[in-house]
Structure 1
Amino acid sequence: MMTQGAAMSRTATGLVVLVMAAGALAGCENLSRRENNALVGGGVGAAGGAVIGSVTGGSAIYGGLLGGAAGAAVGALSTPSGRHER
């Protein structure tokens, strides 16, 4: 059984990795608005899903995967289609 301190450390490590990945993706300048919203939604969904999964006693990995997929879909589908400035 994992102690509360170890669980917090694991969550903090996951958030640091997420922030580093977001920084690496910040250099993607020639993405459309829909692609950008899908990336942001996926990142936010993955972080939220991982945190909720670990807090509720489930798997942070599966929570992150499901949250990331749902967030990417919502980000892409909530962007109106048509021509937009980049």
Structure 2
Amino acid sequence: MKRLLITLSTILLVMGLAGATCSRQDVGMTAGGIIGGVAGSELTGGSGVGTVAGAVGGAYLGRELSK
């Protein structure tokens, strides 16, 4: 149930950001951070450190790929 809630929240947030008037890099950074945070949480079994590390890594990667 927790996974489903996180997944649905992520999808809704990404869809909401798709219509925002942010720069492409900002949207890439935000989406990367969300996806990285969820992935980090899942890979480390819900560890806070793993979630933060995944979010930071995902945000950096999303910003760089959107250039």
TM-score, normalised by the number of residues in structure 1:
0.59
**Range moving further from structure 2, 11-20 or 65-74:** 11-20
- The equivalent of 2:5 in structure 1 is 13
Uncovered stretches (5+) of structure 2, i.e. residues with no partner: none
Read off the aligned partner of 2:29 and give its amino acid letter: A
Matched, 1:26 2:18: yes
Structure of higher CA gyration radius: 1
Q: Which residue of 2 aligns with 1:73?
A: 60
Root-mean-square deviation (Å): 2.1
TM-score under structure 2 length normalisation:
0.72
* Cα gap change, 1:23 to 1:33, in 2 (>3 Å): closer
Question: In 2, Cα distance between the equivalents of 1:25 and 1:18?
Answer: 11
How many residue pairs end up in the alignment?
A: 67
Distance across 2 between alignment mates of 1:49 and 1:25:
21
> Which of the numbers 8, 30, 43 marks the counterpart of 1:39?
30
